[in-house]
């Protein structure tokens, strides 16, 4: 039973446009969410996070939006750059006691020059 779902295996966008990556979760106990970026042959790199007490968190070109009622979060990258081409993983945690992250399967983003 997948608790964190990334339903789009891949996404292709033009350089300079917006990339929107989506993530859904089923466990209502999750209250902290993270996005990781992974290049081939490297480990995942932490990108941005959001707590359930917020609905938006911004860091430079990256913004994460959280819709708790829909159990949905999204990562916006504006403007997209070719160097953003990577696999993006959504992860969730239960701040109430779990040290563990549950990861989605990832979305491969390709930014075309």
Question: Among residue numbers 81 through 100, which ones bind other proteins (CB under 8 A)?
Answer: 89, 93, 95, 99-100
Q: Rounded distance, CA 87 to CA 65, Å?
A: 19
- Which residue's CB is nearer to other proteins, number 14 or number 95? 95
- Give me the least distance between CB of 82 and other proteins, in Å please: 22
Q: Where are the alpha helices (DSSP H) in 23-106?
A: none
- Give me the least distance between CB of 45 and other proteins, in Å please: 7
Strand bridging mode 45-51 / 32-38: antiparallel
Question: Among residue numbers 13 through 32, which ones bind other proteins (CB under 8 A)?
Answer: 32
Integer distance in angstroms from the first to the last C-alpha of the chain? 38
Q: Rounded distance, CA 101 to CA 6, Å?
A: 15
Number of Cβ within a 10 Å radius of residue 83: 9
Query: Quick one: which of 77, 106, 109, 111 contacts other proteins (CB under 8 A)?
Result: 106
Instruction: Point out which residues bind other proteins (CB under 8 A).
Output: 4, 9, 32, 34, 36, 41-46, 49, 89, 93, 95, 99-101, 103-106
């Amino acid at each position: 039973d997948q608790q964190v779902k990334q339903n789009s295996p891949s996404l292709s966008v033009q350089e300079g446009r917006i990339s929107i990556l989506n993530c859904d979760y089923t466990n209502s106990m999750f209250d902290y969410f993270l996005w990781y970026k992974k290049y081939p042959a490297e480990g995942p790199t932490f990108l941005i996070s959001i707590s359930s007490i917020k609905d938006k968190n911004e860091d430079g070109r990256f913004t994460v939006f959280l819709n708790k009622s829909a159990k949905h979060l999204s990562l916006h990258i504006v403007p997209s750059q070719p160097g953003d081409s990577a696999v993006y993983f959504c992860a969730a945690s239960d701040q109430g006691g779990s040290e563990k992250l549950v990861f989605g399967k990832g979305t491969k983003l390709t930014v075309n020059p």
